[in-house]
Amino acid sequence: MGRIQAFDTVAVVQAARDLFWDKGYEATSLADLEAATGLARSSLYHAFGSKRGLFDAAVADYLDTVIRPRLQVLLTGATDTSALLAYLDGLRLAVQRRADASDGSDSPDGSRGSNNSGDSRGSGNSPTRGCLLINCAAGLAAHDDPAREVVDGYRAELVAALKHALLSAGAGRPFQPTLVDERARTLASFTMSAMLLARVNTDESAALLETASGLVRSWMPEVGSTA
């Protein structure tokens, strides 16, 4: 007869997610994971196969509960700059709130709170946590092909969402396809850089996102925005 699982898998995965998010994959020990999840390593191995298996589950949860809800604002089809500005301003305000807050109510990646940058289901995070996937790019993904593919997949998904918002905002305007691609990559680079910078300097991270918003306004100055 198989073992009966006596714990909440989602809660365990999200506890591990927050730990990996804060410390990184390589700096997180099994003892850390036992303390965060309340499970013995034998139970973790039985449920997830390995530390890496738990990390993969944490990344999948992060994509589903933080990243994709955050990108939804870019996919609304807004015919002005409001979607782009809401996305960028939501991230900027979350970074600034985290710099000022002491109660862990919001994070730069929007994993708690009701702003336009993220999802309301996650747990509280440290002010300098940044983005789990961007942090991963600077660590594990540098020498791990599967992790590299996940991070690059996130980059591609972000660029595609930004491109969709740019095309919607410029509906009826003569845009060169190469220009739209260039602008989407530029905004993605600003966003990803700001999330990495949030770990070391929240003021500069917020300033970088404000610069990105300024670029959007300069690209389409005559398009009204409701953001």
Q: CB burial class (10 A; 0-12, 13-18, 19+) of residue 25?
A: buried
Structure token pair of residue 1: 């007869």
How large a percentage of the chain has pLDDT more than 70? Answer: 80
- How do residues 120-157 score in pLDDT, each as one tens digit? 334 444 435 788 998 887 788 888 899 999 999 999 99
Q: Is the pLDDT of residue 12 over 70?
A: yes
**Beta carbons of 107 and 96 less than 8 angstroms apart:** no
- Residue partners of 33: CB distance under 8 A and separation at least 6: 16, 19, 39, 41, 44, 51, 54
Query: Residue 216's pLDDT is what?
Result: 95
- Residue partners of 50: CB distance under 8 A and separation at least 6: none
Helix and strand counts by DSSP (H, E) for the chain: 10, 0
The amino acid at 18: D
